[in-house]
Structure 1
Amino acid sequence: MSAVSLRDRTYSIALEIPIFDLHTHLVAPCFGSLNLWGIDEILTYHYLIAEFLRARRDISGEEFYGWTKPQQAEAIWETLFVQQTPVSEAQTGVITIISRLGFDPQTVTLEELRQAFGATNSEAQISKVFDLAGVSKVVMTNDPKDPVERAIWDGGYVADSRFLTALRLDQILVTGDDKGDSSVDAVRTYLRVWIGKMSPAYVAISLPETWKFADATLIREAVLPVCKEHSLPFAMMIGVRRGVNPALRGAGDGSGIADLTQLELLLQEHPENKFLVTTLAKENAHTLAVMARKFANLMPFGCWWFVNNPSIIAEITDFRLEMLGTSFIPQHSDSRVLEHLIYKWDHSRRIIAKRLAKRYEALAQSGYAVTDDQIRADLSRLLHKNAEEFLGVA
C-alpha cells in the first residue's frame, strides 16, 4: 500500500469511529440557558473575542462588553470574516461549521445564518451536531458552586446518556463547602455528597503553572482519598494563568510553563489513584509523555486550549505515538458552544489519522504491513476506548 493510499485509508476508517469527547463545557438539554448554541454564540467565543480586540485596537474591552451579544457577534463577523481572510484556527473553525451545516461560507450572510438557526431548537440541534461531528458521548464540566447550575441539580436535572458528568473543583477548593468550611473533613464530606448526586465520570480541577505539591493539602488529603473510595480518576489541567489581561474578561487568560516534578511527587504518593492530565504549555507536553512511561496510572489527554492548534496537535500526537504507542487519549474538544464539536473534531480527526498513518509508513519501511482491522482497532483505542476504559464506563 502506498503512503498516500495508507493515509487515505486511515482517515477513511477514522471517519467511521465514534468519538468519546473526554472534556467539554457543553451541557445536557435540562440545563436550559446554560446550553450554548447558534451563530451568535459561535461568534462570541472567547477565542474570537481576543482576536477581534487585537484587530480592533480602537475598541476597549470595556466598550466591547458593554454591547449586547448580537452587537458583539455582528462586530466580530464584520471584522474577522468580512474584512479579513479567516486564516486563524478559530476563524477557520467557524468556516468549517458553516460549511458542514450546508452553507456557502463565502456568500452566506450573518442574517441568513441567524434565520437558519432560529428555525430549529436546541434538542434538534444537539442531535444534528452530534451526528455531523461523529460524536457519541461528551463529558460535561459541572460546578455545583455555580448558582444557576446548582438550582438544576437541586430540582430539575434529567439524565441524558449522551452527556456524562464531571465534578469540577476549582471553586470548591477555594471557597470550601456551602458553609465556607475548607477543612479536609468538610471538603471530603462535600465531595461525597456531590459524587452521590452527580455520579461523575471523573473529578477535575484546572491549576496555575505555579501550583506546588507541598501546598496541595486538600488535593492530597481530601480529594484523592475520596476519588480512590469511588474509583474515580482525578483530572488535572495544568498551566493556566487567569486574568493576565483583566480587561478581556473571559478572553484574558494566559499560559505558563509548570514544574511537572510537582505532579511526579503526587503520582509517587498516590499510586492507587488514576490521574488524567493535560498541560497548557507545549513545553510541558513532552515531559508529561515521558512521565506517562513511568506511571501507568497517568493518562495524558488532549491538546488543551492554546495547544489546540493543528501544528501543535500534530507535534504532540507524533511524540506521544512514538513514546506511548496508542495508550493515550489524543484529543478532547473543550467545546463551549455546541457547534464547536463539528470543527474541533473535523480538524483533530484528520490530524490524528495523518499522524497515525505516518507511524504505519515507518512500519511499512521496516517490512510490516498493517491491516484495516489493525487500523480500526488502533483508532478505536485512541478515539473512544482508552477514555471509556480509564473512566470505567466502557
Structure 2
Amino acid sequence: MPDLATSNPTQFRILVCAVCTLLARMVNGDGMLNLLQEMHDESGVYSKGGFGLDCAYLVDGLDYPGSPDDTQPLHYRPSPIPETSNILTTDIGIDPKVIESLVFAEVSSAHAIDLHTHLLPPSHGPLCLWGIDELLTYHYLVAEYFITAPASMSPEVFYALDKKKQADIIWKALFLDRLPVSEACRGIVTTLKAFGLGEQLKTRDLDAVREYYESFRSKDLEGAEKFSAKVFECAGVRYAIMTNIPFDANEAKYWRPKRKEYPDQFRSALRVDPLLAGDRETIEKALRASGYEVTLEGARKYLRDWCDTMKPEYMMASTPHNFVLSETKGTLSGIVKTGVNPDALRQPFAFVGTSGVGCNPDCDPEEENTASIIDENSDFLSEVLMKICEERDLPVALKIGAHRGVNPELLSAGDGVVAFADTSVLARLCSRFPKVRFLATFLSKNNQHEACVLASKFRNLHIYGCWWFCNNPSIITEITTMRVEMLGSAFTAQHSDARVLDQLIYKWSHSRAVIAKVLSKEFTKLVISGWSLTRGELRREVERLFGGSYEEFMAKSLK
C-alpha cells in the first residue's frame, strides 16, 4: 500500500475515497449484505461492472483532488449512494465545507433534462450536427473570429469556403494565435478533453482530433448513433427537447409521410411563430400548400395533425425585445398582409423573420429579420393556438428578446442585440389564458428580476435557463442566485440551447460547476439559519433544479 501511495498517488486517492464511501454506508446502517446484493444485481452504480467495478465509480464527490471549484468543469458521474441508502436520511450538519462537498456531489450526479435545444437526432441525417468542424464553425465562434479578422476576410469570402476550411481558419485565429479563453472557445477545450483528447490539445493537432471523429463517421448512421449515446451519457442528460419546424421542407421529410424513429433521448417541440404573431399570409400559404381549408377550423386541424405527427412536449416561439400585446382581444379587421418570400420559408427558422410586422404599429418597418411579434388581436392566437393548447393540454414556450439580423453579413452569427423587453406582455398572456401553461426565458439580464416576480404571481408560468448571451458563468451565477432567493426550487436552472451535439458536454459541465457553487452558499445559509437538512432533501432540490421542477410543472394540468 505505501508503494501505491508513492508510485501512483492519484490511484491511491481514488482507492481511499472508494473505501471511505463503502465504510460510510455501513456505518449508517446500509449493511455489508445489502452492498454485496447491489454488486451481485449490478444495480445503480454497479451496472458499470458489478463486483469488478472500477473504484473510481465509488468515489462520492469530485473526480478531481482538492476542494470544490467552479472554475473546473463539473462532469456528470453516477452517484455511489443509491436512493435506498440510509445516508440520505442523515442530517448533514452545519459545516460549510461538508455542505459544499455534498452539493457538488449531488449536482454532478443529477440527470439533467435539457428542456430547449436545436438538436436533431442521427436519423435526421445531415440535420444532426456533430464533430469538431461543426463546433469550430458554430456562430458564437464565427462572430468572435470576425472581431479581429483581417480586412481581406469578409463574411462573404468566409462563407464561400467549405466548412473544413472555415474550421481551419477559426482554429488558427482563436486557438493558436490567441488563447481560447472565451466561454465558447473554452467549451471546445472542455469537450475534447472529456473525449480523452488531451494529448491532441497539448500538441494543437486539429487533424488528429478529426481522426477521432472519423472513427465514428466512417460507420455512417451506426457511428452517429453510437456517438450520440456517448455524448448523452457523458453529459448526464436524460433527454433533450428539440426545436422542430414542420414548415421547413428539409426537416418535414423526416416526419412525413412516415415519421423517422429516434431514441427516447430526443423529444420534440413544435415551433408556432406564425400563429403567435397572427401572420395571416404565412398561415394561409401553409394551409393551401398542405391541402387544408383556409379557415380557423382548417388551421386548427393543421395544428392538430402536426401534434399527432410530432407528439411535442410543448409549442414554442421566439419573440423580440419590443413585442407588444394589446390589452383587449379586438378583431382581425385592419390587419395588413405582408409579403412572404416562398424560398425563405424553406430555410430553418424561417418564421423568425416572416412574422406579420404589419400587424404591429410599434414595430420598426426596417426590422425585417426580427423574431415573431405576438398579436393578441388575431384569432389565430386565441382561436387556434390557445384552443389547441387547451385541448391538448400543451404549454407554450417563449424565448423573449431575440433580435435577428443585427449584422446580416454574418448570417446566423450576426443575430442578437440584447435589449430590455416589456415583461407585461407575458403577464397578460398568463392572465388571459389561465388554462394554458407558459415556459419563458429572457435574453436580457435586465429582465431576470421581473421574470422572477411574474413567476411568483402566475401558477401557469415556469421560468427556465440562462439563454444565449446570458449563458456565461458570471451571469449564470447572478441569475441563479436571484432565482433561488425568490423562487426556491420552482424553476429550471439551465438549458443548453445546443445546436451541435457535442456542445451538451461543455454546456452542462460548465453550468453544473457554477450552479453547484451557488447552491452551496444558499443551502449553507439555510442550515446556519437553523434548518436541519438531510442529504436526501438536498438531492431532491438539486434534481428539481435540473429538470424535476419542469416535469412537475408539465404534470400540473390546469384544464
Q: TM-score range by the shorter chain?
A: over 0.9
Between the aligned partners of 1:80 and 1:159, the Cα distance in structure 2 is 35
Counterpart-to-counterpart distance in 1, 2:130 and 2:274: 25
Q: How many residues of Structure 1 are paired with residues of Structure 2 in the alignment?
A: 393
> Which deviations, in whole Å up to 9, do the C-alpha atoms of 1:22-75 show, x marking residues without a partner?
001111221111000010001110000100111214221111111110010000
For 1:98 and 1:159, the matched residues in 2 are separated by 26
Structure-2 change in CA distance of 1:184 and 1:4 (3 Å)? farther
- Cα deviations by residue, 1:199-246 (Å, 9 ceiling, x for unpaired): 100000001112111223233332112111101110011100110100
Aligned to 1:319: 482
State how 1:238-253 maps to structure 2 within 5 Å: 238-253=400-415
Over 3 Å counting, the alpha-carbon distance change for 1:303 and 1:101 in structure 2 is same
Question: 1:230 is matched by which residue type in structure 2?
Answer: R
User: What is the aligned partner in structure 2 of residue 166 from structure 1?
Assistant: 269
1:179 aligned residue: 288
**1:325-336 pair list within 5 angstroms:** 325-336=488-499
* CA radius of gyration, larger in: 2
Q: Structure 1 99/171 Cα, relative in aligned 2: closer, same or farther at 3 Å?
A: farther
- How far apart in 2 are the matches of 1:226 and 1:302? 26
Q: Which has the higher contact order (CA 8 A, sep 6+)?
A: 1
Counterpart-to-counterpart distance in 2, 1:299 and 1:183? 32
For residues 322 and 104 of structure 2, the distance between their equivalents in structure 1, rounded to whole angstroms, comes to 39
- Displacement after TM superposition at 1:258 (Å): 1.0
Inter-partner Cα distance in structure 1 for 2:133 and 2:115: 25
1:46 matched residue in structure 2: 139
AA of the residue aligned to 2:119: L
Moved more, 270-279 or 162-171: 162-171
Name the structure 2 match of 1:134: 236
Say whether 1:295 aligns with 2:398. no
Cα offset, 1:385, TM superposition: 1.3
1:372 lines up with 2:481 in the alignment: no
1:32 paired with 2:144, answer no
Superposition CA RMSD, Å: 1.7
Q: CA deviation at 1:149?
A: 0.8
Name the SS for the 2:501 alignment partner: coil
Per-residue deviation, 1:365: 2.2
Structure-2 separation of matches of 1:55 and 1:362: 45
Q: 2:287·2:298 contact (CA, 8 Å) conserved in 1? A: no
CA contact (8 A) 1:205 1:237 kept: yes
Q: Which amino acid aligns with 1:301?
A: Y
Distance 2:550 2:513 in 1: 19
- Give the equivalent residue in structure 2 for 1:122: 224
Q: C-alpha separation between the residues in 1 aligned to 2:395 and 2:520?
A: 30
Question: Within 5 A, what are the aligned runs for 1:247-266?
Answer: 247-254=409-416, 255-266=418-429
User: Alignment identity in percent?
Assistant: 41
Q: Where do residues 1-394 of structure 1 align in structure 2 (5 Å cutoff)?
A: 1-58=94-151, 59-104=153-198, 105-120=201-216, 121-154=223-256, 155-170=258-273, 174=279, 175-176=282-283, 177-179=286-288, 184-214=296-326, 215-216=375-376, 217=378, 218-254=380-416, 255-392=418-555
Is the 1:329–1:387 contact (alpha carbons within 8 Å) kept by the matching residues of 2?
Answer: yes
- Any conservation in 1 of the 2:112–2:237 contact (CA below 8 Å)? yes
Q: Distance in 1 between matches of 2:484 and 2:324?
A: 29
Structure 2: give runs of 5+ residues left out of the alignment: 1-93, 217-222, 327-374
Q: Distance in 2 between matches of 1:191 and 1:382?
A: 31
- Deviation string for 1:137-171 (max 9, x for gaps)? 11011100111111111135114211111001235
AA at the equivalent of 1:316: I
- Tell whether the 8 Å contact from 1:97 to 1:340 is kept in structure 2 after alignment: yes
Could you tell me whether the CA contact under 8 Å between 2:287 and 2:299 is conserved in 1? no
Distance 1:187 1:159 in 2: 28
Q: CA deviation at 1:186?
A: 4.0
**Whole-angstrom distance in 2 between the partners of 1:244 and 1:187:** 32
Stretches of structure 1 lacking an aligned partner (at least 5 in a row): none
What secondary structure does 2:317 align onto? Answer: strand
Q: Please, what TM-score do these two structures have when normalized by structure 1?
A: 0.96
Q: What is the alpha-carbon distance in structure 1 between the residues aligned to residue 519 and residue 274 of structure 2?
A: 38
Show CA shifts across 1:99-144 (max 9, x none): 1111123324110010110001211111111111011111011100
- The equivalent of 2:28 in structure 1 is none
- Asked whether the equivalents of residues 287 and 294 of structure 2 are also in contact (C-alpha less than 8 Å), the reply is no
User: Cα deviation per residue 1:299-349 (whole Å; 9 max; x = unaligned)?
Assistant: 001111111111111111001000000000111000100000000000111
Contact 2:427 2:454 in 1 (8 A): yes
TM-aligned CA distance change 1:187 to 1:209, over 3 Å = farther
Change (3 A) 1:242 1:41: same
Q: CA deviation at 1:183?
A: 5.9
